[in-house]
Amino acid sequence: MNQYKILFLDIDGTILRPDDTIEDSTRTAIKEMKTQNIEVVLATGRPLHEIEDLAEELQITSFIGYNGALGIYEDETIFAESMKPKDVKYILDVAKANGHEVVCYTNSKNYFTSLEPDAVQAFQKQFHLSQNEIFADDVIEDILGMTIITSGAKGDTFYQFKDGIHLSQVNVEGMQHCFDVIRDHVNKGVGVRFLLEKLGIIREESIAFGDGMNDKEMLAYAGEGFAMGNAHPDLFQHAKHETTSVTNSGIYNGLKSLGLIE
């Protein structure tokens, strides 16, 4: 009997190549896991309302989104945890004081502090964000996640958190000035643990692939955590395995190393 029951896959830099395409080997790997009755889950920092086309293309119906704030298993919401309004307000205030832009994600919209700046438009284009509106205070209690669009790779230094929040640099070419807001108790790793407990699956029966620092908790928690060859340099220490890059059959080769693909 197969010792693995579930596979968690990050999207950007793990499934999707820099040109937004998917390798044939990745499609083959995902299909093969399904034939072996291994559940495939997309685990992403992206808002789930913006990945419906990708999910349909890959025929995946289970997700961990917003860096662990929302979990859906076979179209049923199993957990959701919004950010504290005071934390949202603090980030918005610091961003405004330093000329940064912010996108706040709810379960249906992306709320930007501004829609006009080139950096915002580039961000929207990169991540195919279409459900975009201007942020308003009446949605502050519904925020599941945030990304800060700064003016430089060290833009995160303006934000000082004391209560379980840190920033994770977006590991996508041209987007290194952007930082996801990660909560210590709400991240992909916590989402993986919650889903495994819900399904009665032990850690040793889980596999995960990722490339960004927002994947570190997930890779550390999964029984078999794989850092992609193109991963952020600091991620490898959190993963049990290193595989090849997203442009060189990383998922396929990782699963092959476990004996799941011939």
- In order of their start, the domains of the chain are 6-81+186-257 (3.40.50.1000), 85-183 (3.30.1240.10)
How far is Cα 68 from Cα 46, in angstroms, rounded to an integer? Answer: 10
Q: Is the pLDDT of residue 231 over 90?
A: yes
The predicted model scores a pTM of 0.89
What is the per-residue pLDDT for 257?
Answer: 97
Q: What is the pLDDT of residues 94-129, one digit of tens each?
A: 999 999 999 999 999 999 999 999 999 999 999 999
Q: Is the pLDDT of residue 1 over 60?
A: no
Q: Are 41 and 195 in contact (CB under 8 A)?
A: yes
What is the per-residue pLDDT for 106?
Answer: 96
What is the per-residue pLDDT for 32?
Answer: 97
What is the per-residue pLDDT for 171?
Answer: 87
Q: For all residues of the chain together, what is the average pLDDT?
A: 95
Q: What is the pLDDT of residues 64-73, one digit of tens each?
A: 999 999 999 9
Q: Is the pLDDT of residue 40 over 80?
A: yes
Question: Which whole-number Å values give the CA distances from 4 to 23, 85, 108, 237, in the listed order?
Answer: 23, 39, 33, 23
What is the per-residue pLDDT for 215?
Answer: 96
How far is Cα 95 from Cα 97, in angstroms, rounded to an integer? Answer: 5
What is the per-residue pLDDT for 152?
Answer: 77
The sign of the dihedral angle between the CA atoms of 81, 85, 87, 88 is positive
Q: Stretch 232-238: mean pLDDT, rounded?
A: 97
What is the per-residue pLDDT for 187?
Answer: 93
Q: Is the pLDDT of residue 188 over 90?
A: yes
Q: Stretch 186-213: mean pLDDT, rounded?
A: 95
What is the per-residue pLDDT for 25?
Answer: 98
Q: Is the pLDDT of residue 167 over 90?
A: yes
Question: Per the structure block, which two tokens stand in for 48?
Answer: 């789930």
What is the per-residue pLDDT for 173?
Answer: 87
